[in-house]
Amino acid sequence: MRPFASMILVFSLVIPCLSLGADVPGSTPTPLLGYSPKTSQSEREWETKFRAIPDPANLRAYMQRLSARPHHVGSPYDKDNAEWILAHFKEWGLDAHIEQFDVLFPTPKIRVLEMVAPTKFTAKLEEPALAIDPTSNQKSEQLPTYNAYSIDGDVTAPLVFVNYGLPEDYEKLDRLGVWGKGAIVIAQYYHSWRGVKPKVAAEHGAIGCLIYSEPRDDGYTVDNVFPQGPMRPPDGVQRGSVMDFASASPGDPLTPGVGATPDAKRLPLSEAKSITKIPVLPISYGDAQPLLAALAGPMAPEDWRGTLPIPYHVGPGPARVHLKVAFNWDTKPVYDVIAKIPGSVEPDEWIIRGNHHDAWVNGAEDPISAQVSLLEEARAMSLLLKQGWKPRRTIIYAAWDGEEPMLLGSTEWAEAHADELRAHAAVYINTDGNDRGILNMNGSHSLEHFINGVARDIEDPETKMTVWQRAQLSAIADAKSADDKKELRQRADLRIGALGSGTDFTAFIDHLGIATLDMGYGGEDEQGIYHSIYDDFYWYTHFSDTDFVYGRALAQTVGTSVIRLADAEVLPFDFVNFADTIEMYTKELQKLLADKQGEIRERNQEIDEGMFKATFDPRRPTIAPTREEIPPHLNFAPLQNAVDSLTRSAKHYQDALSQKQATLGDEAMAAKLASLNKELMESERRLTNADGLPRRPWYKHLVYAPGVYSGYGVKTVPGVREGIEQKRYAEADQEIVRVSKALEDESELIESAAKQLDQAGQ
């Protein structure tokens, strides 16, 4: 899974072909970050050899095999795929094994959705097989359309249309005066992670939740529907998990915080915190249209209306619907396939690289399109090993199972190995699905400079410019303001996005504090097959990276990253961009508070002036808002001081490293490097706190977290940001102190690393 591919606009650009990397013929190339000039040169040679190996024909063959049948958790082909991946790792000479966990995985037993008034209608809840699409007819192996970890339920109630089902949508419904407790709501997919919709609905007293795919978002409004085009057909349904992972934790709901091994203590189902409070069912726009068309009441606000040929009313009723769902609450095995390449100098420092192998159905795009790149990377590395390459650090390749239900395989593995990972993990790199287009880079900002360097060494298959240049120019094309365009042209590195959730990196960064990167190509192809039976080999080879050249680019990008991290004499973290990012977040938080104060002040004034009386239309009645307390000022000084400390220590470390670069390979440096790297590995851990975030102790990272009300969407400096957003101002003030303390500690660590370098070789 992962959030719906961001719809990046891409303009075709004609740019002269530029040479790759920092090397200009005839000049000495700039050494790589964390490498001496000599090792930098041999590293570049190994990397060049590596990038020549991945072969699109192999990627295509792997995909055809791995997506040939449905392979969700607990299915025969899920296990078969895990064994096939294991056999390949072994055939390539890697030390590999399968690690099994036993997890709660509900599958549907009963699914009924019908309208009982004012007319009768029974929803199909069925995606038809298509003659042209050879795997769409594997009915006996396909999971029905459903939302995993919905609670069982049998409810009948008036229907209310709630737009995307976010807190602000309910505020608007309050203003329209239509909201009554006890309704079944129908929400559109997207604009938040799906599990937020039933969570917010339950908080507002709803007793059931339907989520439908609106054609405006991924249906005929965007392009032709499958099989004529890539978009969602009328009966296509988005399956998906609605586990409330953001407020509780991802992974097996019965073993929070520990690996779901056979001897693990399990909660009774009734105590599992992450199961929804009300029953949920996803539906197609074919099934949604008659329900929405039967609603009366006020017209939906203009920006809520989709593109179905109906007037969008909000209700409540007269449409009354009956929703009944019941599930088999079974324990199922998940099979993580783990392969190891031992490090030759620092075997106790680990670079981990993962992608999931399970899918909702055949899952050619999600996740196999990036799983095949992972396999080709592993094969290429095995060939380098045969040619004498000896990675300095240990490399671990992981094909996760159970990602779709909610990061089951990766979370259980990370929890089961938490102590080892805290001691040994240097970096985790994730992918999950791949398409044509722009390289999307997200992760820990201490790795921002590093990953920009890798992107400068990879050729874009379509434009033949570097993927870095393509990403920069397309970002300039999309930038909204002149200031943004200027920064994109002048800043040495492109900013990378912060990590929220939605895929397997979550336990590594949020729970364990391991520096993380997440990457993928995309933005050129529209898709409306996400989590449906139509995400298959036929769709992928007609509408996405049909010749697998972006699959090769992904293997080259991630493989180069892994090798470069594994071989560096000094782990290539850089803290100048990190400090710059924290400074940006601090300003964002101050602006968030000021905007909120201004907004409430303005609304209070409008109430006093009688504005809501003046704009009242008796035929379209609305309810005026009530006066609200203006948010207090918060003390941002500790955060601003922490930014200053970070900026100073980051610069000191950067200078110290560049001064010692020439001598990194010297014999006298060896002992120093070991303790320096150990300290650097700790740098992301310093940003965590053992008590975790307010009300969600599993989430330990104080800088990055998924949002309680955004799900996959990130909340940076979450304690403070969500404190302001949720009007918990005293808590936000306390969180400023807590996060500032962590940043001051981080700054001390960076300063100490800089001093180690200053003293080295003296």
The site that binds Zn ion (CB under 5 A) totals a number of residues, namely 4
Q: Nearest approach, Cβ of 757 to Zn ion (angstroms)?
A: 40
Q: Nearest approach, Cβ of 243 to Zn ion (angstroms)?
A: 15
Using the rule CB under 5 A, give the single segment among 425-433, 508-516, 553-561, 708-716 that binds Zn ion.
Answer: 425-433
* Beta strand pairing call for 714-716 and 704-706: antiparallel
Q: Nearest approach, Cβ of 404 to Zn ion (angstroms)?
A: 6
Q: Using CB under 5 A, which residues numbered 606 to 625 contact Zn ion?
A: none
Q: Compute the distance between CA of residue 3 and CA of residue 475 in angstroms, rounded to an integer.
A: 19
Q: Nearest approach, Cβ of 392 to Zn ion (angstroms)?
A: 31
Using the rule CB under 5 A, give the single segment among 286-294, 410-418, 429-437, 617-625 that binds Zn ion.
Answer: 429-437
Q: Using CB under 5 A, which residues numbered 469 to 528 contact Zn ion?
A: none
Q: Nearest approach, Cβ of 366 to Zn ion (angstroms)?
A: 4
- Taking Cα atoms as reference points, which of 615, 150, 559, 601 lies closest to residue 378? 559
Q: Compute the distance between CA of residue 552 and CA of residue 60 in angstroms, rounded to an integer.
A: 10
Q: For residues 432 and 535, which CB has a smaller minimum distance to Zn ion in the complex?
A: 432
Q: Nearest approach, Cβ of 504 to Zn ion (angstroms)?
A: 8
Query: Does 1 sit near Zn ion (CB under 5 A)?
Result: yes
- Taking Cα atoms as reference points, which of 94, 96, 95 lies closest to residue 381? 94
Using the rule CB under 5 A, give the single segment among 70-78, 426-434, 482-490, 735-743 that binds Zn ion.
Answer: 426-434
Q: For residues 432 and 518, which CB has a smaller minimum distance to Zn ion in the complex?
A: 432
Q: For residues 102 and 366, which CB has a smaller minimum distance to Zn ion in the complex?
A: 366
424 Cβ neighbours under 8 A, 6+ residues apart: 348, 349, 350, 394, 681
Q: Compute the distance between CA of residue 431 and CA of residue 460 in angstroms, rounded to an integer.
A: 18
Distance of CA 594 to the CA centre of its chain: 29
Using the rule CB under 5 A, give the single segment among 201-209, 308-316, 431-439, 658-666 that binds Zn ion.
Answer: 431-439
Query: Does 82 sit near Zn ion (CB under 5 A)?
Result: no
Q: For residues 532 and 654, which CB has a smaller minimum distance to Zn ion in the complex?
A: 532
Q: For residues 366 and 412, which CB has a smaller minimum distance to Zn ion in the complex?
A: 366
Q: What is the DSSP string of 319-354?
A: -EEEEEEEEEEEEEEEEEEEEEE--SSEEEEEEEEE
Q: Compute the distance between CA of residue 75 and CA of residue 330 in angstroms, rounded to an integer.
A: 13
The three-state (H, E, C) secondary structure of 139-151, written as one string: HHHCCCCCEECCC
> Is-contact 389 269, C-beta < 8 A?
no
> Is-contact 404 502, C-beta < 8 A?
no
Query: Does 435 sit near Zn ion (CB under 5 A)?
Result: no
The three-state secondary structure class of 312 is: coil
- Please name every residue paired with 332 in a beta bridge, in sequence order, or none if there are none: 103
Q: For residues 377 and 567, which CB has a smaller minimum distance to Zn ion in the complex?
A: 377
Q: For residues 169 and 432, which CB has a smaller minimum distance to Zn ion in the complex?
A: 432
Alpha helices in 610-728 (DSSP H): 611-614, 637-660, 670-681, 718-725
Q: For residues 434 and 654, which CB has a smaller minimum distance to Zn ion in the complex?
A: 434
Taking residues 347 to 386 in sequence order and writing x for each that binds Zn ion by CB under 5 A, - otherwise, the string is: -------------------xx-------------------
Using the rule CB under 5 A, give the single segment among 14-22, 228-236, 379-387, 424-432 that binds Zn ion.
Answer: 424-432
Q: Nearest approach, Cβ of 503 to Zn ion (angstroms)?
A: 6
Using the rule CB under 5 A, give the single segment among 293-301, 385-393, 427-435, 507-515 that binds Zn ion.
Answer: 427-435
Q: Compute the distance between CA of residue 402 and CA of residue 74 in angstroms, rounded to an integer.
A: 9
Q: For residues 325 and 414, which CB has a smaller minimum distance to Zn ion in the complex?
A: 414
Q: Nearest approach, Cβ of 470 to Zn ion (angstroms)?
A: 24
Q: Nearest approach, Cβ of 360 to Zn ion (angstroms)?
A: 9
Q: Compute the distance between CA of residue 576 and CA of residue 33 in angstroms, rounded to an integer.
A: 13
Neighbours of 221 (CB within 10 A): 13
Q: Compute the distance between CA of residue 446 and CA of residue 427 in angstroms, rounded to an integer.
A: 11
Tokens of 341: 């390449």
Q: For residues 368 and 743, which CB has a smaller minimum distance to Zn ion in the complex?
A: 368
Query: Does 432 sit near Zn ion (CB under 5 A)?
Result: yes
Q: Nearest approach, Cβ of 365 to Zn ion (angstroms)?
A: 9
Q: Where do contacts with Zn ion occur on this chain (CB under 5 A)?
A: 1, 366-367, 432
